[in-house]
A and B are shown apart, each in its own frame.
Chain A
């Protein structure tokens, strides 16, 4: 056993140290090209380490550093999503950021980018709830400067709204955590470590009113970070104004890191026997997120904002999955998490490529994508089909699983609302793609054929490879749900619902 523990410990070190080294290295080197490579190598090491960690995490839950670090199946799964997006985005960033012609400041971008990855990877590993909160807060602070990296008026506006709304929202989560700590201190001693397992242990004794208040505060707080409506207002701005690799990280990695907090707090609210109310709140907010996303997707004019509202939608779906609960709901939500990470990265990469070629964020100015972008256009289109939950891809399976989980639970209404809204989103989302791919060409004097060809030549394979790397696993996950993953989800579900029903 000690040998196993040391293997896990070294894997955790292999996850957290490379981004740290990349941050320090970038700040020391200050030259664009080596920084690119440093960040890329760090992301590859992290990805491999996470892959190796997954089977180890499945066997036992371990804690390190006097109980401040935890390696459990749920956390490891979120790490997988984060590491996947970090790898894909690091590859893509090389192509995309060169295009921006900001080589002077590029080392700062990679330092911040690796720092952002570091904080996002730290979150799921935190065992102390207070430290987890701080990790989430740090992700906001670091990513703010990535959002406003281009220093345009809009991007600074987005960064400002992002930091104010999210810091304000997440302070509610801190209040909730303090209330939980207070409730626990009435039964444990005045000083104790507020770890997930300690809180889970004391949960049945917590006063119901205090626990309910605390849960609602925590849910609203982390829900702000996750981007659930009506706390989502920062999300479309931040996601649309940052550079494309940053958008991918924000959407595919960051939101999941906050979602895991909600999943763990749902477990605690279950354990403290609060009745059906907490789950009903989670389900309602999830359904409302779908509703808001459906409205804004249908009438959207900006390409990256379209993707951002799709993130709101997917977080809503995941909240529904965790809210419905049960082995099916949790399996669906986790499968959805990985699918979302792959797919949303693909979508933001495609949007970034289209923006490089068409020099606009407006959907109405993008025409005939397949002309200048034959391969990446096709990949993007496939991604669009996938992200709306159409059959041959992974998100279809996960959404169906979540729907099935809902049918068994007390919130039946939400299943029908979800189904209806998913159809609306399917139509609305793909309608924009129809316009961009097959719409009539409007004569644009500013962009003659020659420059198109030129631009296309400059669209490096750095921008194309990660799209393949995202689409292929997505397709595989859609055609084949591996048995080992089912087993993994069963373990997570058993841990999340251990000994407690709502």
Chain B
């Protein structure tokens, strides 16, 4: 397995990229401005693209260069552009309806990272991989997962919820690049494509939301209960 016998340089490069991505997830949690979310997401996608390329280089997986290029193109440029258009159409530029202030969200996010670390450490221990990049990759993957769910829970704007879902996906993608770089190309391509369809669907749905429900905030959707 690639992650267990890496050169020190490669290991530190992977760690740097993974941790930087996690920090960008915190940027999203800690900000109120939708443009910040979007910028952080785009940057995160670029970091993941670089990570893919690095894994491809050090692990000798040439097909990962293609994945890296497509990640940069789709996640780093196309998705942010589509989301940017949605934001422009919505005429909202900041989160007004958060249930938890950004500062408190940061604290909760930190607690979630701790939890993710405990779980990953446990998994790493059981495989005798403590202290390797595997634990870090698992931690970042689970943390971004949990932070994505945190964003889904406390943020009300439709666009924040879409970004929350995308953070979930980014977390999985990042982890899978380090843990299973040999994943069949087809699957990765289809997942990238799937993401594009998801965002397109959300775009249409947001338009319906504004046109027929007169709101861009999911928190006002509370008629269906019981």
Contacts and interface: CB of A to CB of B under 8 A. Distances in A.
A229 to B, nearest CB: 14
Interface stretch (A183-191, A246-254, A397-405, A463-471): A183-191
Contacts of B122: 209
A193 B184 CA distance: 7
Interface stretch (A78-86, A157-165, A443-451): A157-165
Interface stretch (B22-30, B76-84, B101-109, B196-204): B196-204
Contacts of B194: 134, 137-138
B208 interface: yes
Interface residues of A, number: 54
Give 7 nearest A-B pairs by CB, closest first.
A190-B182, A191-B182, A209-B126, A157-B221, A130-B187, A237-B224, A182-B179
Contacts of B126: 207-210
A160 B149 CA distance: 16
A359 B84 CA distance: 41
Contact of A300 (B175, B179, B226): B226
Interface string B42-69: 0000000000000000000000000000
Nearest to A186: B1
Given A157-B221, A158-B224, A301-B226, A167 B213 contact: no
Contact of B169 (A134, A171, A237, A241): A171
B168 A168 contact: yes
Most chain A CB inside 10 Å of its own CB: which residue of B145, B149, B169, B226: B226
Interface stretch (A1-9, A42-50, A145-153, A431-439): A145-153
A209 B123 contact: yes
A356 interface: no
A144 B214 CA distance: 19
Interface residues of B, number: 48
B191 interface: yes
A175 B226 CA distance: 31
Contact of B1 (A137, A153, A185, A302): A185
Interface of A: 128, 130-131, 134, 137-138, 141, 144-145, 148, 151-154, 156-161, 163-164, 167-168, 171-172, 174-175, 178, 181-182, 185-186, 189-194, 207-210, 213, 236-237, 240-241, 296, 299-302, 305
A192 B212 CA distance: 47
A167 B126 CA distance: 30
9 contacts: A138-B194, A154-B224, A160-B205, A160-B218, A163-B202, A168-B168, A207-B127, A208-B126, A240-B224
A144 B201 contact: yes
Interface of B: 1-2, 119, 122-123, 126-127, 141, 145, 148-149, 152, 158, 161, 164-165, 168-169, 172, 175-176, 179-184, 187, 190-191, 194, 197-198, 201-202, 204-205, 208-209, 212-214, 218, 221-224, 226
Contacts of B169: 171
B218 A171 contact: no
Most chain B CB inside 10 Å of its own CB: which residue of A137, A148, A159, A160: A160
Contacts of A152: 212
Given A134-B190, A208-B126, A157 B212 contact: no
